[in-house]
Amino acid sequence: MKDILIGNGDLGENVVLRLDQSNRHGLIAGATGTGKTITLQILAEQFSKAGTSVFMADVKGDLSGLAEAGKDHPEVQRRLKAAGVEDFSFSKNECFFWDMFGKSGLPIRCRLDRFGPLLLSRLFDLNDIQSDIVHIAFRIAKDKKWPLIKLEDLRALLGWISDNSDKLRNDYGNIAKNSIGAIQRDLVAYADVVGDNLFGEPTLDVNELIATDKLSPIHILDATKLMQNKSLYSSVLLWILDELYNTLPESGDSDKPKLVFFFDEAHILFRDAPKALMEKIELVVRLIRSKGVGIFFVTQNPADIPQVIQSQLGNRIIHGLRGFTQKDQKMLKNISESLPVDGKFDVAKSLGELSVGESVVSVLNEKGSPSDARKVLNMPPFSKIGPIDTSDIRKENESHSTFNKYTKTVDSEGAKSLIQKANKKREEDEHEEEDEERSSRSRPKKRTSRRQTASEAMWKSFLRRFGSAIATLCISFIRSFLKGKR
Query: Do the beta carbons of residue 382 and residue 66 sit within 8 Å?
Result: no
What is the pLDDT, as a whole number, of residue 444?
61
For residue 422, the SS3 value is helix
Which CA distances in Å does 160 have to 120, 154, 177, 453, 469? 19, 10, 11, 64, 80
Domain 3-108+206-407 part of CATH 3.40.50.300: yes
Which region among 56-70, 153-167, 320-334, 429-443 has the lowest average model confidence (pLDDT)? 429-443
* Residue 389 predicted with pLDDT over 90: no
What is the pLDDT, as a whole number, of residue 104?
87
Q: Could you tell me the pLDDT band of residue 445, with boundaries at 50, 70 and 90?
A: low
* Residue 156 predicted with pLDDT over 90: yes
What is the pLDDT, as a whole number, of residue 316?
96
Q: What average pLDDT does range 265-294 have in this prediction?
A: 93
* Residue 450 predicted with pLDDT over 60: no
Of 205 and 447, the structure prediction assigns the larger pLDDT to: 205
Ordered DSSP codes for 150-179: SHHHHHHHHHHHHHTHHHHHHHH----HHH
* Residue 42 predicted with pLDDT over 90: yes
* Residue 446 predicted with pLDDT over 60: no
* Residue 404 predicted with pLDDT over 70: yes
Ordered DSSP codes for 233-283: HHHHHHHHHHHHHHHSPP--S-SS-SEEEEESSTHHHHTT--HHHHHHHHH
Q: Could you tell me the pLDDT band of residue 1, with boundaries at 50, 70 and 90?
A: low
Q: Could you tell me the pLDDT band of residue 297, with boundaries at 50, 70 and 90?
A: very high
What is the pLDDT, as a whole number, of residue 485?
58
What is the pLDDT, as a whole number, of residue 292?
95
Beta carbons within 8 Å of 478's beta carbon, 6+ residues apart = none
Domain regions of the chain by residue span:
3-108+206-407, 112-196
Sheet holding 358-362, edge to edge: 14-18, 3-9, 374-378, 358-362, 315-318, 26-29, 293-299, 259-263, 53-58, 218-222, 95-98
What is the pLDDT, as a whole number, of residue 142?
96
Q: Could you tell me the pLDDT band of residue 452, with boundaries at 50, 70 and 90?
A: low
What is the pLDDT, as a whole number, of residue 484?
66
What is the pLDDT, as a whole number, of residue 377?
93
Torsion of CA 146, 148, 151, 155, to 10 degrees: 30
What is the pLDDT, as a whole number, of residue 278?
93
Of 19 and 348, the structure prediction assigns the larger pLDDT to: 19
What is the pLDDT, as a whole number, of residue 63?
95
Reference 265, options 307, 286, 236; nearest CA is 236
Q: Could you tell me the pLDDT band of residue 2, with boundaries at 50, 70 and 90?
A: confident
Query: E strand or H helix at 140, and its extent?
Result: helix 128-144
* Residue 82 predicted with pLDDT over 90: no
Please give the radius of gyration of the chain, using alpha carbons only, rounded to the nearest integer: 39
Q: Could you tell me the pLDDT band of residue 164, with boundaries at 50, 70 and 90?
A: very high
How far apart CA 95 and CA 45 sit, in angstroms, is 10
DSSP 8-state assignment for residue 87:
S
Percentage of the chain beyond pLDDT 90 is: 60
What is the pLDDT, as a whole number, of residue 20?
94
Which of 184-200 are b and which e, b meaning 16 or more Cβ less than 10 Å from the residue's Cβ?
eebbeebbeebeebbbb
**Mean pLDDT for the chain overall:** 88
Q: Could you tell me the pLDDT band of residue 219, with boundaries at 50, 70 and 90?
A: very high
What is the pLDDT, as a whole number, of residue 298?
96
* Residue 187 predicted with pLDDT over 80: yes
What is the pLDDT, as a whole number, of residue 458?
73
